[in-house]
């Protein structure tokens, strides 16, 4: 191993923690401007370091054993940090997104002093740690760090009654998920006596998938699936998003939720890849992904609280990402990776714009806001650009993801999934377009009484994130512009697909991961991926989704014209909506039902 | 869902999970057996670095990253509790009521116990690498010891002894020291949290290299952190009033 | 006996979760969660136990040997205990705020159709 | 020795059941403390003095204390809330 890039690995985790500690200690004595600058500078530095690391991983993985406990004969007591291109790419996305949200939150939350910044930096460190660590126990530790910072950020508006409640449910459900993960880890540890991912991969290679192996896998991934908001582990997400501050939502939806999927896939490829048959896992992940995408999009369309609407859109899209990744091929993983990048820019921008609307007009309800943002040209352009990125209109990054996914899905033999992709994108983006048309353009009939049928769905009554601003600061707009452009850049940059496909190929090479970490074996050469680029079918599907999304938006705006069509849909959705009760007992009951279902999906075919 | 449906959903799920867990457990090595792969490696590594308490060696040397993450979780939740329990709009701090209802005997006991717990706590921290105990256990003892003052009924005395800002600093300092030691390892030896100090003599106070240093860092952090956490809860209980009225009276 | 310790650990996780499901008070739910966490401690230590072995702490005179119980699971349990305590503190703080805003901490009363 | 372990584990299971089934949260602070103590015993018999020490501090003292304080705060807040709505309900108008 040559070069010094691996030295960056622990720094990416430790640097934000050190600065956050400084902010905790000295924050009360520092002027607000310094606190803001310090936090942003740190996030920027981490972004730069992650970019360097990403470049360095082009020639193979970077490994750093902490404590100098290098493995001897593939065995050690130490903990590795490992970066392959996927991990480094995610590290870059995390840091860049955090920078954007910190820039946006300049002037935010005067009453929490430096604590908000410290929490965001701890959250950043937790996410970086989760993607970069090569140790199973540390994955859970960083997962919890991410969680603890996340619960606090969700409930930070203590005056908002749904914020604290959402944070509490989020905390209980996620912690329980983490405890089940830990239990799974212990079960596995009892058998093999190791905790580092590469070593675990060694130990389980060609190991029969017996009950212990399957049970440990199911329990460990439960924690990650809760974070990834897969049905039926998803209930906490809309509650938490509906009331968390907009920049926090942007971080949650843009990257935190997706990290749950990363955890599942990393664990599978490195540790369980050679014991649990891929076909078996594919079936389980497909069921989860499809259910999540369908439920998320159906729920999304019925919302009027913008943040709740976007939250369900996130659920639907994470479902789609899961479906792409479930192909378990380099193409599928690469497509999912691109989609994550493109989606992050789009959904984060939408959340930040909603945050501005909430600040300006004191509401996040699309009916209350009807026509109230008319004349805000810049926001209008940004909103619709982000909505089109969400639907996957070429040349946004999401569209490139779909384009590559088409190849993966068709060659894996699931052509019907293409219809699902188009429909889910169209329905969610249709809902977003509908609300945008109402809020910015006053299209459609004006709502007669905005508080109609409050029992049907949550209204957008919400406390402002921070005191009302007189005019939109340039920093906030800049953050949104960067996010939208980022989503565009992912699709436009040359060879994007090829780079990501190679990263994916590296990612799924589990034994290569172990070999390079444990015995400094040289990285295996990568193949060319000619199919990983725009395809006519993919572009066509993107355009089709966009047209359908416009249709769905119209359907939402003029529901009276198509009442015959809508009635049965609404009636069908009623019992599903009734499940989203905000009751923590319900959520925990569903959690266990979900674990049982997952165990059946993965385990029963192997009996 | 009704309570009944909720319970049914849970019991069905939990039943299946139990079945899965029992099947897994049957495949686990027998309880009390002698096959422990990681144990053998860890004991060997601890002896190599002259750390008599192998648990401390694992926590602060071999798997120090775990503890770094854990200490970060601790400080994060201390910050979080401070944010979440800040007096909200419409809440004021009320004057501290002087409660003199405790018996003189209880108070005396409290005052006697405080220094004793302080000594025990410090001992746990300092000898954490050679005997059972360590920064975490010692820090907890120190923090609870300080709160014996509350049990004696002298909240004002506790409040004087406990300027929260100072403990915030202690907490952050402890966590930052841990990170700084880690980065020092990276700088001097090329990998994070390397035990770069001389390892000393096995079983003596000066042994284990950075392990006792990290023990002290964690002791500081836990002491500061737990004090701040308890202080925030005490503050809610005693001094925060939900309307301005009580603040004036 | 051979699997009794593991079963007790599993039981703790389940009874804690059951407590959350039937809880009528958020503090009760949070406390039940920490009971569930207790299950993971027992599981960890049970896995590392060895009959007749001593604690993994050597005196200055005793000769180090590997005839001790597994120190790694103990280290993980320590980490776990800290995490549990801090998460509990955080959730209790949130519960206090829920009570301030809603005037109740009964999940049944808090629950509303969110849709 | 084995009998001791079985006994301690059974004690933990019983204490856990008591914590979960105690419906009055006030009583939970006490039962939780007992549960913590039972865990300490298990840790001792499983040869884990380090873990037992921290559980002694955390599980039997700090966490039950926080639970107790949280419950007291809630009761006080509710009392003040009732006073406000009862005595000067027209305060907001």
C-alpha B166/C-alpha B163 separation (Å) is 6
C-alpha A104/C-alpha A113 separation (Å) is 16
**Which helix (H) or strand (E) covers residue B110, if one does?**
helix B104-126
Domain extent listing, chain A: 1-134, 158-274+568-607, 277-446+474-507+532-557
Residue A502 bridge partners (DSSP): none
Phi, psi values for residue A135, rounded to 5°: -135, 135
Q: What is the pLDDT of residues B212-225, one digit of tens each?
A: 899 999 999 999 99
Q: Which residue has the tokens 């865990």?
A: D39
Tell me if C102 and A176 make a contact (CB, 8 A cut-off): no
Tell me if B76 and A586 make a contact (CB, 8 A cut-off): no
**Closest by Cα among A196, A193, A242, A200 to A217:** A200
Q: Going by DSSP bridges, is the β-strand pair B240-241/B92-93 parallel, antiparallel, or unpaired?
A: antiparallel
In a domain, C99, yes or no: yes
Tell me if A149 and B80 make a contact (CB, 8 A cut-off): yes
pLDDT of amino acid D93: 32
Residue A307 pLDDT > 70: yes
The average confidence (pLDDT) of chain B is 84
The average confidence (pLDDT) of chain D is 87
| Average pLDDT rounded to a whole number, residues A378-403 | 95
pLDDT of amino acid B241: 65
Residue A202 pLDDT > 50: yes
Size of interface A-B (CB pairs under 8 A): 229
Contacting residues of C for B5, CB less than 8 Å apart: none
pLDDT of amino acid A438: 94
Tell me if B42 and C72 make a contact (CB, 8 A cut-off): yes
In a domain, C115, yes or no: no
Tell whether C20 is within 8 A of chain A (Cβ): yes
Q: What is the DSSP-derived secondary structure letter of residue B53?
A: B
Tell whether D73 is within 8 A of chain C (Cβ): yes
Contacting residues of D for B241, CB less than 8 Å apart: 80
C-alpha A384/C-alpha A440 separation (Å) is 10
In a domain, C78, yes or no: yes
Neighbours of A455 (CB within 10 A): 7
**Which helix (H) or strand (E) covers residue D90, if one does?**
none
In a domain, B10, yes or no: no
Beta carbons of A121 and A42 less than 8 angstroms apart: yes
Q: How far is CA A103 from CA A46, A270, A389, in A?
A: 15, 36, 22
C-alpha A510/C-alpha A273 separation (Å) is 7
pLDDT of amino acid C115: 60
Q: Quick check: helix, strand or coil at residue A65?
A: strand
Q: For C15, which of D6, D16, D49 is closest by C-beta distance?
A: D16
Q: How far is CA A409 from CA A87, A334, A405, B149, C105, in A?
A: 24, 12, 6, 67, 47
Report how many domains make up chain C.
Answer: 1
| Average pLDDT rounded to a whole number, residues A369-396 | 93
C-alpha B131/C-alpha C56 separation (Å) is 10
Q: How far is CA A330 from CA A130, A259, A269, A325, A418, in A?
A: 22, 18, 12, 9, 18
Q: Which residue has the tokens 């939502």?
A: A249
Least confident of A362-366, A448-452, B112-116, B212-216: A448-452
Domain extent listing, chain D: 2-85
Beta carbons of A27 and B196 less than 8 angstroms apart: no
C-alpha B14/C-alpha C10 separation (Å) is 11
C50-109 residues touching B, CB cutoff 8 A: 50-51, 53, 55-61, 64-66, 68-72, 74-76, 78-79, 82-83, 86-87, 89-90, 92-94, 96-97, 100, 108
What DSSP string runs through C40-104?
A: HHHHHHHHH-BTT-B-SB--SSSPP-S-B--HHHHHHHHHHHHHHHHHHHHHHHHHHHHHHHHS-
C-alpha A368/C-alpha A463 separation (Å) is 14
Tell me which chains share at least 3 CB pairs under 8 Å with chain B.
A, C, D
Best mutation target among C53, C75, C107, C109 (most B Cβ atoms within 10 Å) is C75
C-alpha B91/C-alpha D71 separation (Å) is 18
Beta carbons of A548 and A426 less than 8 angstroms apart: yes
Domain that holds residue B241: 36-248
Residue A524 pLDDT > 70: yes
pLDDT of amino acid C59: 76
pLDDT of amino acid D92: 39
C-alpha A398/C-alpha A340 separation (Å) is 8
CA B107 to chain centre: 27
* Residue of chain C minimizing CA distance to D53: C78
Phi, psi values for residue A31, rounded to 5°: -65, 150
Q: What is the pLDDT of residues C12-53, one digit of tens each?
A: 999 999 999 999 999 999 999 999 999 999 999 999 999 988
pLDDT of amino acid D87: 55
pLDDT of amino acid D89: 42
Which residue would you say has higher pLDDT here, A464 or A519? A519
Question: Among residues of chain C, what percentage have pLDDT more than 70?
Answer: 93
pLDDT of amino acid B190: 84
Tell me if B80 and C93 make a contact (CB, 8 A cut-off): yes
Q: What is the pLDDT of residues D3-42, one digit of tens each?
A: 999 999 999 999 999 999 987 888 888 999 999 999 999 9
Contacting residues of A for B63, CB less than 8 Å apart: 77-79, 137, 195
pLDDT of amino acid B249: 30
Tell whether A165 is within 8 A of chain C (Cβ): yes
Take residue B245 and report the two structure tokens written for it. Answer: 């009225």
Q: How far is CA C53 from CA A193, B36, B141, C50, C57, in A?
A: 18, 12, 28, 6, 11
Contacting residues of A for C73, CB less than 8 Å apart: 186, 189
Question: Among residues of chain A, what percentage have pLDDT more than 70?
Answer: 97
Q: What is the pLDDT of residues A272-295, one digit of tens each?
A: 999 999 999 999 999 999 999 999
Q: What CATH number is attached to the domain comprising C70?
A: 1.10.287.3510
The average confidence (pLDDT) of chain A is 91
Gap from A577 CA to chain C (nearest CA, Å):
5
Question: Among residues of chain B, what percentage have pLDDT more than 70?
Answer: 83
Best mutation target among A2, A23, A39, A78 (most B Cβ atoms within 10 Å) is A78
Size of interface C-D (CB pairs under 8 A): 133
Tell whether B121 is within 8 A of chain D (Cβ): no
C-alpha A183/C-alpha C44 separation (Å) is 8
Residue A64 bridge partners (DSSP): A81
Take residue A26 and report the two structure tokens written for it. Answer: 């000295």
Tell me if D47 and C49 make a contact (CB, 8 A cut-off): yes
- B113 pLDDT tier (thresholds 50, 70, 90): confident
- Please give the angle made by the CA atoms of A456, A154 and D72, to the nearest 5 degrees: 95
Q: Dihedral through CA B185, CA B188, CA B191, CA B196, nearest 10?
A: -50
Best mutation target among C18, C40, C79 (most B Cβ atoms within 10 Å) is C79
Which residue would you say has higher pLDDT here, A422 or D22? A422
C-alpha A512/C-alpha A521 separation (Å) is 8
Phi, psi values for residue A134, rounded to 5°: -115, 30
Among A490-494, D26-30, D83-87, top mean pLDDT goes to A490-494
pLDDT of amino acid B248: 34
Q: For B59, which of C59, C78, C83 is closest by C-beta distance?
A: C78
| Average pLDDT rounded to a whole number, residues B177-201 | 87
Q: Dihedral through CA A194, CA A200, CA A206, CA A210, nearest 10?
A: 70
Domain that holds residue C56: 4-110
Q: Which residue has the tokens 């349990």?
A: C77
Beta carbons of C30 and C95 less than 8 angstroms apart: yes
C-alpha A531/C-alpha A331 separation (Å) is 8
Please report the sign of the dihedral spanned by the C-alpha atoms of residue A184, residue A186, residue A192, residue A193: positive
| Average pLDDT rounded to a whole number, residues B168-197 | 89
Tell whether A246 is within 8 A of chain C (Cβ): no
Cβ neighbours for A139, distance < 8 A, ≥ 6 positions apart:
A130, A133, A263, A267
Gap from A159 CA to chain C (nearest CA, Å):
7
- A59 pLDDT tier (thresholds 50, 70, 90): confident
C-alpha C7/C-alpha C9 separation (Å) is 5
Instruction: Give, rounded to a whole angstrom, the gap between the first and last alpha carbons of chain A.
Output: 43
Take residue B2 and report the two structure tokens written for it. Answer: 């009704």
Gap from C15 CA to chain A (nearest CA, Å):
12
Q: For D6, which of C4, C54, C99 is closest by C-beta distance?
A: C4
Tell me if C87 and A148 make a contact (CB, 8 A cut-off): yes
C-alpha A234/C-alpha A226 separation (Å) is 6
pLDDT of amino acid A136: 97
Long-range contacts (CB closer than 8 Å, 24 or more residues apart) made by A297-301 = A297/A423, A297/A424, A297/A427, A297/A428, A298/A427, A298/A573, A298/A576, A299/A238, A299/A573, A299/A576, A299/A577, A299/A580, A299/C115, A300/A427, A300/A428, A300/A431, A301/A427, A301/A428, A301/A430, A301/A431, A301/A552, A301/A556
Q: How far is CA B135 from CA A100, A521, B89, B140, B150, in A?
A: 38, 39, 38, 8, 23
Best mutation target among C50, C67, C99 (most D Cβ atoms within 10 Å) is C99
Residue B93 pLDDT > 80: no
Q: What is the pLDDT of residues B203-212, one digit of tens each?
A: 777 788 888 8
- A457 pLDDT tier (thresholds 50, 70, 90): low
Tell me if A164 and C98 make a contact (CB, 8 A cut-off): yes
Instruction: Give, rounded to a whole angstrom, the gap between the first and last alpha carbons of chain D.
Output: 70
Tell me if B195 and A158 make a contact (CB, 8 A cut-off): no
C-alpha A80/C-alpha A77 separation (Å) is 10
pTM over 0.90: yes
Cβ neighbours for A195, distance < 8 A, ≥ 6 positions apart:
A79, A135, A136, A137, A185, A189, B38, B63, C72
**Closest by Cα among B59, B35, B33 to B45:** B59
- Cis omega (within 30 of 0) on the bond before A262? no
């Amino acid at each position: 191993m040559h070069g010094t890039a691996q030295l960056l690995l622990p720094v990416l985790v430790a640097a934000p923690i050190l600065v956050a500690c400084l902010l905790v200690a000295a924050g009360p004595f520092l002027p607000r401007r310094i606190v803001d600058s310090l936090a942003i500078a740190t996030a920027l530095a981490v972004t730069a370091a992650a970019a360097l690391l990403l470049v360095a991983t082009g020639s193979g993985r970077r490994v750093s054993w902490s404590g100098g406990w290098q493995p001897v004969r593939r065995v050690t007591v130490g903990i590795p940090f490992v970066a392959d291109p996927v991990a480094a790419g995610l590290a870059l996305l995390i840091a860049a997104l955090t920078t954007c949200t910190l820039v946006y939150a300049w002037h935010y939350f005067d009453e929490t002093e430096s604590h908000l910044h410290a929490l965001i930096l701890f959250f950043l460190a937790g996410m970086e740690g989760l993607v970069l660590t090569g140790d199973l126990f540390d994955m859970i530790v960083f997962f919890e760090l991410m969680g603890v910072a996340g619960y606090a950020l969700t409930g930070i508006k203590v005056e908002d009654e749904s914020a604290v409640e959402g944070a509490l449910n989020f905390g209980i459900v996620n912690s329980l998920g983490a405890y089940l993960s830990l239990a799974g880890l212990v079960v596995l540890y009892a058998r093999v006596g190791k905790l580092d991912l590469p070593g675990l991969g060694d130990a389980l290679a060609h190991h029969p998938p017996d009950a212990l192996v399957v049970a440990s896998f199911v329990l460990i991934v439960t924690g990650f699936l809760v974070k990834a908001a897969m049905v039926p582990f998803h209930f906490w997400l809309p509650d938490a998003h509906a009331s968390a501050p907009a920049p926090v939502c942007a971080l949650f939806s843009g990257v935190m939720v997706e990290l749950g999927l990363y955890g599942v896939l990393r664990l599978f490829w490195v540790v369980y890849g050679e014991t649990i048959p891929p076909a078996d896992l594919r079936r389980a992940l497909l069921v989860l992904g499809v259910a999540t995408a369908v439920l998320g999009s159906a729920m999304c369309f019925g919302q009027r609280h913008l943040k709740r609407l976007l939250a369900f859109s996130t659920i639907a899209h994470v479902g789609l990402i899961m479906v792409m990744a479930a192909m378990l091929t380099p193409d599928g993983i690469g497509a999912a990776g691109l989609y994550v990048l493109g989606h992050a820019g789009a959904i984060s921008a939408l959340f930040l714009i909603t945050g501005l609307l909430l600040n300006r007009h004191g509401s996040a309800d699309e009916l209350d806001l009807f026509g109230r943002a008319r004349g805000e040209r810049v926001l209008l352009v940004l909103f619709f650009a982000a909505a089109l990125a969400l639907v996957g209109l070429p040349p946004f990054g999401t569209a490139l993801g779909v384009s590559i996914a088409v190849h993966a899905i068709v060659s894996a033999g699931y052509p019907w999934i293409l219809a699902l992709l188009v429909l889910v994108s169209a329905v969610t983006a249709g809902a977003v377009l509908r609300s945008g048309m109402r809020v910015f353009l006053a299209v459609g009939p004006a709502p007669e009484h905005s508080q109609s049928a409050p029992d049907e769905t949550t209204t957008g009554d919400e406390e402002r994130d921070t005191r009302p601003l007189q005019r939109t600061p340039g920093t906030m707009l800049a953050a949104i512009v960067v996010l939208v452009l980022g989503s565009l850049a992912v699709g436009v940059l040359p060879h994007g697909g090829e780079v990501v496909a190679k990263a994916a190929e590296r990612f799924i090479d589990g034994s290569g991961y172990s070999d390079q970490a444990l015995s400094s074996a040289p990285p295996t050469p990568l193949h060319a991926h000619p199919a990983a680029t725009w395809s006519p079918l993919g572009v066509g599907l993107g355009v089709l989704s966009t047209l359908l999304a416009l249709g769905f938006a119209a359907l939402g705006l003029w529901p009276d014209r198509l009442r015959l069509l809508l009635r049965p849909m609404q009636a069908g959705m009623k019992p599903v909506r009734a499940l989203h009760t905000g009751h923590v007992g319900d959520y925990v009951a569903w959690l266990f039902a979900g674990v049982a279902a997952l165990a059946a999906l993965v385990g029963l075919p192997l009996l | 869902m009704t309570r009944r449906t909720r319970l049914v959903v849970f019991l069905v799920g939990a039943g299946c999970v139990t079945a899965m867990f029992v099947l897994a457990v049957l495949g686990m090595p027998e309880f009390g057996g002698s096959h422990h792969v990681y144990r053998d490696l860890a004991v060997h590594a601890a002896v190599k670095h002259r750390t008599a308490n192998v648990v401390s060696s694992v926590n602060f040397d071999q798997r120090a990253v775990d503890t770094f993450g854990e200490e970060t979780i601790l400080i994060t939740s201390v910050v979080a509790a401070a944010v979440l329990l800040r007096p909200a709009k419409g809440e004021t701090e009320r004057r501290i009521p002087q409660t003199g209802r405790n018996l003189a005997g209880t108070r005396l006991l409290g005052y006697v116990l405080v220094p004793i717990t302080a000594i025990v706590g410090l001992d746990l921290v300092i000898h954490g690498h050679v005997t059972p105990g360590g920064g975490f256990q010692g820090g907890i003892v120190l923090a609870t010891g300080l709160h014996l003052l509350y049990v004696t009924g002298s909240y004002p005395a506790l409040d004087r002894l406990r300027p929260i800002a100072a403990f915030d600093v202690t907490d952050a300092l402890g966590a930052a020291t841990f990170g700084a030691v880690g980065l020092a390892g990276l700088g001097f030896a090329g990998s994070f949290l390397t035990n770069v100090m001389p390892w000393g003599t096995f079983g003596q106070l000066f042994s284990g290299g950075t392990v006792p240093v990290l023990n002290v860092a964690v002791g500081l952090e836990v002491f500061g952190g737990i004090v701040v956490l308890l202080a925030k809860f005490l503050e809610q209980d005693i001094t925060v009033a939900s309307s301005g009225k009580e603040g004036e009276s | 006996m051979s699997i009794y310790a593991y079963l007790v650990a599993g039981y703790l996780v389940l009874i804690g979760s059951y407590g959350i499901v039937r809880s009528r008070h958020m503090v009760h739910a949070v406390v039940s969660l920490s009971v569930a966490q207790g299950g993971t401690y027992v599981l960890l230590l049970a896995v590392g136990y060895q009959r007749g072995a001593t604690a993994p702490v050597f005196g200055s005179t005793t000769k180090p040997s590997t005839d001790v119980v597994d120190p790694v699971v103990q280290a993980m349990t320590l980490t776990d205990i800290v995490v549990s305590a801090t998460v509990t503190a955080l959730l209790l703080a949130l519960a206090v705020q829920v009570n301030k805003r809603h005037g109740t901490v009964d999940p049944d009363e808090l629950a509303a159709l969110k849709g | 020795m084995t009998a001791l372990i079985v006994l301690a584990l059974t004690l933990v299971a019983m204490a856990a059941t008591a914590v979960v089934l105690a419906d009055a949260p006030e009583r939970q602070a006490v039962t939780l403390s007992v549960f913590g103590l039972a865990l300490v015993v298990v840790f001792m018999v499983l040869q884990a003095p380090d873990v037992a020490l921290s559980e002694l501090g955390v599980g039997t003292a700090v966490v039950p204390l926080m639970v107790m304080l949280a419950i007291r705060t809630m009761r006080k807040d509710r009392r003040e809330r009732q006073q406000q709505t009862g005595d000067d309900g027209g305060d907001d108008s």
